[in-house]
Chains A and B, each alone.
Chain A
Amino acid sequence: MPLARPTPAEERWLALASRYPSLQARVVAEGRTGGWSGSGWPSRLLYALLGIGAAVALHGALLWVPATGVVSGVLMILLAEMLVARRRVLRSGLEDALHACGGAAIVFGLAAGGPEPAAAALLALALSVSGLRMLNAAVTTLAALVASLAVALAMRGSPGLGLAAAPAAFACAAGALLALLAGGRRLLRPSHDRMLDGLVLVLPLAAWGWASLAASRAAALGTEPPGGPGTGALPALLALALGTACLATGLRRRSHAALLAALACAAGLAHALRDVLPLPGHLQWISWGLLLLGLAVMLERALREPRRGFTSQDVGEDLQTLELAQLAAANALPRTSGAGPALAAEPAAPDPTSGVEGLGGEFGGGGASGRY
């Protein structure tokens, strides 16, 4: 069965229509997408959930078959390929999820009972193949994270020991730098650009996360003080180095992924410095927050008129999904910041004259649970 996928030129036209909704009708009229289309973010997310659920259900339904993992995995991949060929929807979410789950099922079917590092490496390989085949950046990014887990498993010495977090951190850092370097090449497919963007965005955070795990383990074992030289300083050093690289690259190439990664590294650096700075925790949080807020407000003000192309103004990008996400995120913020747990733990006695009384939940305002 020939593998259906858009040519690079078709994919570029699809990307054009996706980036500029006002041009969609003209792109469709040009007819250069080869009959391919795509999904918006909300549909993609639901399709992915349905695909994962269907993959699990299919695997469960075939539990009576010998070599269930391999059989169900092959069926999932065949189903995904058939759907791609029939629907011609790029990165719909459904086919991608089925394909990735199929690869994972085959790996688990083959590697069950084998050494864990090999299984993790095989899973990373299967996800990479699936992501590259389906041109899905989320899957290739997940593959990179699983690969870092494989490094942590392989370098731990013996199976009884904990994960080797420091080598995994270095592997992630190296991956992030390689992705930054590779981003300097002209790639034909926008999806390949997105794959590199995914790595640039996630691997610095993963490096910081692994480094933090190594540092906390070293502190717990008493081999090093928190934030001390050696492993203790690794999270801060990695966050600083990767953040600087991402910031420089992001500014030079004008890349959103690199700039957002730099912001994430800044947050990681602030967290890593918590034991070094001579300030109590709450003051550190408030100070960093105020500093960031001040910088953002000043930057927004400074860039109202474009400076060297950078602008904070709305230039007609399609940011509808991001705006919805903002509303959801605003509701997820802590409402009463510390006072809430007591309110929630001591709900008011029901008032028979006033109808339903709330229980001091955190959904809206003052009675939050104070979870962060």
Chain B
Amino acid sequence: MASSACPARRAVAEVRGRGAGPAHLHSLEPELQALREASPTGAAALDRALELESRRLFPVRRELWAALYGAVLAILVGVGLLVRANLDRIGPVALLLALLGAALACHVLALLPRLQGRERPIGLDYVLLLGALLLGAAAGYAQLRFQWLGTHAARVLLLLAAWHTLVAYLLDSRLVLAVALGSFAAWLGLEPGLPALLDVAGGGAPGGFRGRGWIALGCALIYLGAALAHRRAPRWPSFREVYEQFAAHLGFWGALALAVAQPTRWTGVLLLAALATGVALVALRERRESLLVYAVGYATLGALVLQAQLFGGTGYLRVLAILGLAAWTLMRLRARRGAREPA
């Protein structure tokens, strides 16, 4: 077969035959040029893409995010070790003052761009996050040492949630808002992640599932209300998504926790089905892939839990049928959504 007749070889020749070709190795410049020749519209987007492909412009935001996150994590680990190891040598008051001072410094640094009328850079976003977490460390440590809230230790979480929320809105920080929402959920006794909520490691107290399930659903409702309120709050456009993400996860966790407890099994199953349907509809309407995945994923998990409870044993064929149905549903929904993002 002549090489020109084979589509693959023709494609290879097409790409190789562009002379010197792109100066950089991972470049899609030839395709961008072809797109430009085909249609001159959208020149700005094409120009920016060409700059990026030719590496004349190379954004380092991913690297900065990784470095900033690693830095905050390292500092918090160090502070944790400091609190535990050097308590006697430093003294509780000095340690508390140091933590509060550092937290205050972080907050002030993050506030400076706002006072100067500038946009806060991502570096200071993480400095603010560090300040919020150092404040949490100070508050937790103060309760531990001085019992400043008496026997109501967990109210530290509520106070922190309130403070973080205030800071998040004042300084327009999604990261601190996420910390605030997590603090509030923790105050309600909701540990992070589904395994903790279902008490997988501990074997589970049957009544505990129900209790936490309802609490998680209540918390999800609060966050959903906040998300709906933010539809009309143009000042914090990015906050709505944070509330929605928390509401979706907590809602699904709550329904699953109810489904695990025998007395509320069918209530949980119905709630889970209703939630999955609702979230999928929102995902389809707003073309939100993450919500679509949550809906199918959590519904599948619920179906697996239900089949294990009803039939017991391994039931490989039933599991296979459930997983196959889930994959088929996701394919259909994605096709209906019309958003089959090219790879």
Closest chain A residue, CB of each to CB of B211: A356
Query: Nearest Cβ distance between residue B340 and chain A, in whole angstroms?
Result: 4
Q: Does B236 contact A (CB under 8 A)?
A: no
Contacts of B191 in A (CB 8 A): 359, 361-363
Count of chain A residues with Cβ under 8 Å from any Cβ of B?
Answer: 137
Nearest Cβ on chain A to B153's Cβ, whole angstroms: 4
Decide if B80 touches A372 in the complex (CB within 8 Å): yes
B51 / chain A contacts, CB cutoff of 8 Å: 315
> What 1/0 mask marks residues of chain B from 301 to 343 whose CB sits below 8 Å from any chain A CB?
0000000000000101101100110110011001000001111
Question: Are A312's CB and B31's CB within 8 A?
Answer: no
B116 on the interface (CB 8 Å rule)? no
Chain B nearest CB: distance from A182 CB in Å?
Answer: 10
Say yes or no: A361 contacts B189, CB within 8 Å: yes
- If A23-B45, A314-B61 touch, whether A9 touches B15 (CB-CB below 8 Å) is yes
Tell me, yes or no, whether A347 is within 8 Å of chain B by CB: yes
Q: Which residue of B lies closest to A348 (CB)?
A: B153
Stretch at the interface among B83-91, B227-235, B254-262, B264-272: B83-91
Q: How far is the CB of B297 from chain A (nearest CB, A)?
A: 5
Does B285 sit at the interface, judged by CB under 8 A? Answer: no
* CB 8 Å contact bits of A1-14 with B (1 = contact, 0 = none): 00000011111111
Tell me whether A89 is interfacial, beta carbon within 8 Å.
yes
**Nearest CB on A from B177, distance (A):** 9
**Main DSSP-derived SS at the A contact region:** helix
Chain B at the A interface: SS class? helix
> Could you tell me if B316 and A60 are in contact, using CB atoms closer than 8 angstroms?
yes
- B61 x A319 contact (CB < 8 A): yes
Shortest CB-to-CB span from A52 to chain B, Å, is 9
Chain B: residues with Cβ within 8 Å of the partner, total of 131
CB distance from A196 to the nearest CB of B (A): 10
Most chain A CB neighbours (cut-off 10 Å) among B16, B26, B52, B133? B26
Which residues does chain A contribute within 8 Å of B3, judged by CB atoms?
none
Q: Could you say which residues of chain B place their CB within 8 Å of the CB of A289?
A: 70-78
In angstroms, Cα B321 to Cα A147, docked, is: 34
Contact (A18, B342) CB under 8 Å given A296-B68, A309-B57, A363-B191: yes
Q: Which residue of A lies closest to B42 (CB)?
A: A26
Contact in complex: A281, B183 (CB < 8 Å):
no
Please tell me if the beta carbons of A356 and B289 are within 8 angstroms of each other in the complex.
Answer: no
In the assembled complex, how far is the CB of residue A260 from the closest CB belonging to chain B, in whole angstroms? 6
Complex interface bits, B15-38 against A, C-beta within 8 A gives 1, otherwise 0: 110000100111010111011001
Query: Does B130 touch A at the CB level, under 8 Å?
Result: yes
Q: Is B284 an interface position by the 8 A CB rule?
A: no
Whether B166 sits at the interface, judged by CB under 8 Å, is no
Q: Tell me the complex Cα distance, A295–B65, Å.
A: 12
Q: How many Å lie between the Cα of A337 and that of B86 in the bound state?
A: 13
Q: How far is the CA of A50 from the CA of B297 in the complex (A)?
A: 9
Residues of B within 8 A of A (CB): 7-8, 11-12, 14-16, 21, 24-26, 28, 30-32, 34-35, 38-39, 42, 45-46, 48-49, 51-52, 55-86, 121-124, 126-127, 129-130, 133-134, 136-137, 139-141, 143-144, 151-161, 164, 174-175, 178-192, 196, 215, 242, 245, 289-290, 292-293, 296-297, 300, 314, 316-317, 319-320, 323-324, 326-327, 330-331, 334, 340-343
Residues of A in contact with B (beta carbons under 8 Å apart): 7-24, 26-28, 30, 33, 36-40, 42-43, 45-47, 49-51, 53-54, 57-58, 60-61, 63, 87, 89-91, 94, 183-188, 190, 193, 253-256, 259-260, 263, 267, 280-293, 295-297, 299-301, 303-304, 306, 309-317, 319, 322-324, 326-327, 329-340, 342-343, 346-349, 351, 354, 356-368, 370, 372
Give 5 nearest A-B pairs by CB, closest first: A38-B343, A364-B183, A285-B78, A365-B183, A336-B140
A-B contact pairs, 24 of them (CB 8 A): A9-B14, A16-B342, A17-B342, A23-B46, A39-B334, A42-B292, A46-B297, A91-B343, A254-B58, A289-B74, A293-B123, A296-B64, A306-B57, A309-B58, A327-B245, A329-B69, A335-B140, A336-B141, A337-B136, A338-B80, A340-B140, A348-B152, A363-B192, A364-B183
